[in-house]
Every structure is written in C-alpha cells, then in structure tokens.
A and B are shown apart, each in its own frame.
Chain A
Amino acid sequence: MTYEEVIVGQEIDYREFQITPEMQRNYLEVLQDENSLYVGGDSSTGPIAHPVLILNHAFPAEWIGSFKKHIHAKNYVQFLNPTRVGKKIVVRSKVYEKYIRRGKIYVTTEFTCVDEDGLEVAFCRWTETHGTVDE
C-alpha cells in the first residue's frame, strides 16, 4: 500500500472476534492491571472485558501492515459502553483521513466496536505514520 493508493472514506476491514477468558487473563497479566472490574461481575454477566484488549484486536492490523513502514502515532477513543468477557465483537473500519506533515505520511483509520447484542462499545481513530515522502 502507498500513500497515493489510500482512498479517504474507503471501507477497509470487517472482523469479528470473541473475547475469551484466556485473552482477558493474558492482557491483565501483561498490563499488570489488578482492577477487580476485570475479574468480578456476577455469574450471569461475567467480568468487564478489558477495553485495550478489544481495541488491540479490533484495529485493521493487516491493512496497516500492508504499508512498508508503520508506527502508531496517535490514538483517540471514545468509550461508549463496557462489554463482558465471552461476548463477540464486530468491527468495521474505514479510512478517515490522510495527510503529510513535515514530510511525514500519516493515515488515520476509524472503527466502531459493537458487541453481539448490538451494544456500541468503543469508537476509535487510530493514526499511523508511514515514513517520509522521499522514502
């Protein structure tokens, strides 16, 4: 993928994944996050799914990876509703904007995460820098 090939507004990714207890446990250990929010909950609802786990599985990684270089530059999230471990998440991504600033290429994708019950979980704008224009 090159800067010229990026089309603003284009839908670039659709994915579904389930938040498993193993994924949650891994993120809690790696982030060393001890908040009981993520292990509590009653037996009918289960614990709240870690939002960073959701975002990190939701962004259009393969599309971003199709650029020669890619480094995460900025991240904006609006957290809309917590969802629970065990839920399936549906994500649709599109290109929000592209620009060149001080010779560096930036592309922002945006996506919304919705759980299997139709609950909107998070809206994210994820900006990567893809090297310089003369590379």
Chain B
Amino acid sequence: MASRKFEVKATKEGDKISGKPKKITLDRMRRFSGHLDGGRNIHTNEKMANEAGLPGPIAQGMMSYGYILETILTTFGDKWLKGGELNVSFLHYVLPGDTVTAKILVRRKEATDSASKITLEVWCENQRKEKIVAGTATGIV
C-alpha cells in the first residue's frame, strides 16, 4: 500500500478536520479481528453474532478508534504518541457496507513553554451522519 508523509497542520480553536471516509467490509473486519477467539467471534462470524442478539457481524470498535487516531496523527504529527490521550464511547454498531468518517474539532489550544496543549472533540459518523463513536482527546504538540 502506498504511504504518504503528512505535514503537521497549523490549526486554531474551532477548526474541524475530517478524516478519509472508510468503507467497512466483512473481509476487513475479519482481518482486523481474526486473531480473537480462534477467528470465530461477533466481528467475523454470522452465527456467533446472531447468537449474541446482533443482526450480523459488527465491526470491532477499535477500527473506528483507529480512524480517529489516524486523523489526529496526520493533523498533529507523531508527538501525540508521547503522552496524548484518546477517550471514547462506542455508541452504535457498524456493519459491513457502512462508510465511517472520523472527525475532530479543536476545542482548545493553549501555549505551553515550547509547545501547544490541544484539546479535541472527536467522533466518527456513518453514511447517515449518525455518531457511532464520540469522545475527547488531548495532547502536547
């Protein structure tokens, strides 16, 4: 897969940044969650999902978590990985065929000695604009 070098972006309070829309497929769900429970779980297997009362396999929440983290790191750079925090609640199921887009909103930007402390509101939306994940993030960059 091709890789891209992202430049750290200049941001200010109130800026809203959108990640790339991600198409959810059963194949991607199986490759993400296939190491769990011998490969048979609610994220990979129709029968297991139905037995758990689900309409079918649901994407693991950590996939959406990854989309938010990607958007943070492509915006603020890898300094976020030294002390940054990301705290979310998973609100709705994500199913194969859904498209998930991460969003971040710069709530606060405070100058420290040689850096900025950033506070973000973060969430993911599906193709119906429903919030499926929501929370906050903070980091020094």
Which residues of A does B touch, CB under 8 Å? 25-40, 48, 50-52, 55-57, 61-62, 65, 69, 71-82
Contact = CB atoms under 8 A, between A and B. Distances in A.
A56 B60 contact: yes
A18 to B, nearest CB: 13
A79 B80 contact: yes
A32 B62 contact: no
A79 B36 CA distance: 23
Contact of B3 (A35, A51, A55, A76): A35
Contacts of B70: 31, 33, 35
8 contacts: A36-B6, A51-B69, A72-B90, A74-B87, A76-B87, A76-B88, A78-B83, A79-B80
A32 to B, nearest CB: 6
Given A28-B1, A48-B78, A75 B87 contact: yes
A26 B86 contact: no
A82 B80 CA distance: 9
Contacts of A40: 3, 5
A52 B87 contact: no
B65 interface: yes
B31 interface: yes
B18 interface: no
Interface string B57-73: 00011110111011001
B37 A35 contact: no
A50 to B, nearest CB: 8
Nearest to A72: B61
Contact of A75 (B65, B73, B74, B84): B65
Given A30-B31, A51-B81, A52-B69, A75 B3 contact: no
Contacts of B87: 74-77
Given A26-B31, A52-B65, A74 B37 contact: no
A81 B79 CA distance: 9
B128 interface: no
Closest 8 CB pairs of A and B: A52-B66, A36-B3, A72-B61, A76-B87, A82-B81, A36-B5, A39-B3, A79-B81
A81 B83 CA distance: 7
